Amino acid sequence: MESKPINFKLITMIKKSMAALSMGLLMQLGVSCHKPIPADLSKVSLIPAPVELKASGTSYFLSEKTTIYIQDNDDLNTLGSLLSQQIESLTGLKLKVEKSDKAPAKGIYLAIDSEVTMANDEAYALTIGEKGLELKANKPAGIFRGIQTIDQAITKHEGERTGWIVPGGSIMDYPQYEYRGVMLDVSRHFFGVEDVKRVIDLAAAYKINVLHLHLTDDQGWRIEIKSWPELTAVGGQTQVGGGEGGFYTQEQYKDIVAYAGERFVTVVPEIDMPGHTNAAVVAYPELNGTKKKAELYTGTKVGFSTLATRKEVTYQFVDDVIRELAAITDGPYIHIGGDESHVTKEDDYVYFINRTKDIVKKYNKIMIGWDEIAHAAIDDTDVVQYWAKDENAVMGVEKGAKVLLSPSKRMYLDMKYDSTTHIGLDWAALIEVDQAYNWHPETLVEGISKDNILGLESPLWTETVETMDDIEYLVFPRLIGHAELGWSKPESRNWDSYKKRLANHGQRLKVKGVDFYQSKLVPWDRE
Ligand code: TNX
Active site residue 346: no
pLDDT given for residue 74 in this prediction: 84
For residue 184, pLDDT beyond 60: yes
> In the predicted model, what is the mean pLDDT of the chain?
94
Confidence label for 397 from pLDDT (cuts 50, 70 and 90): very high
The pTM score is: 0.93
* Secondary structure class of 339 (helix, strand, coil): coil
Mean pLDDT of the 166-170 span: 98
Cis bond before residue 104 (omega within 30° of 0): no
Where along the chain do its domains lie? 41-173, 179-496
Closest CA to 201 of 432, 484, 508: 508
Query: Per residue in 2-23, is it b (16+ CB within 10 Å) or e — as a string?
Result: eeeeeeeeeeeeeeeeeeeeee
Is 473's C-beta closer than 6 angstroms to any atom of ligand 1? no
pLDDT given for residue 525 in this prediction: 79
Q: What DSSP character marks residue 425? A: B
CA distance 202 to 194: 12
pLDDT given for residue 527 in this prediction: 52
> pLDDT digit string (tens) for 418-459?
999 999 999 999 999 999 999 999 999 999 999 999 999 999
What CATH superfamily is the domain 179-496? Glycosidases (3.20.20.80)
Q: Do domains 41-173 and 179-496 have the same CATH topology?
A: no
CA distance 65 to 107: 9
Test site for ligand 1: of 184, 214, 339, most ligand atoms within 8 A of the Cβ: 339
pLDDT given for residue 75 in this prediction: 85
> pLDDT digit string (tens) for 206-263?
999 999 999 999 999 999 999 999 999 999 999 999 999 999 999 999 999 999 999 9
CA of 461 to the centre of ligand 1 (A): 7
Contact indicator for 70, 80 with CB cutoff of 8 Å:
yes
CA of 319 to the centre of ligand 1 (A): 25
Residue nearest (by alpha carbon) to ligand 1 atom 4: 461
The CATH-assigned architecture of domain 41-173 is 2-Layer Sandwich (3.30)
SS3 string, 183-223, reads EEECCCCCCCHHHHHHHHHHHHCCCCCEEEEECEECCEECE
Closest CA to 485 of 181, 124, 216, 270: 181
Q: Which candidate in 340, 372, 442, 527 is catalytic? A: 340
For residue 392, pLDDT beyond 80: yes
> pLDDT digit string (tens) for 41-70?
999 999 999 999 999 999 999 999 999 999
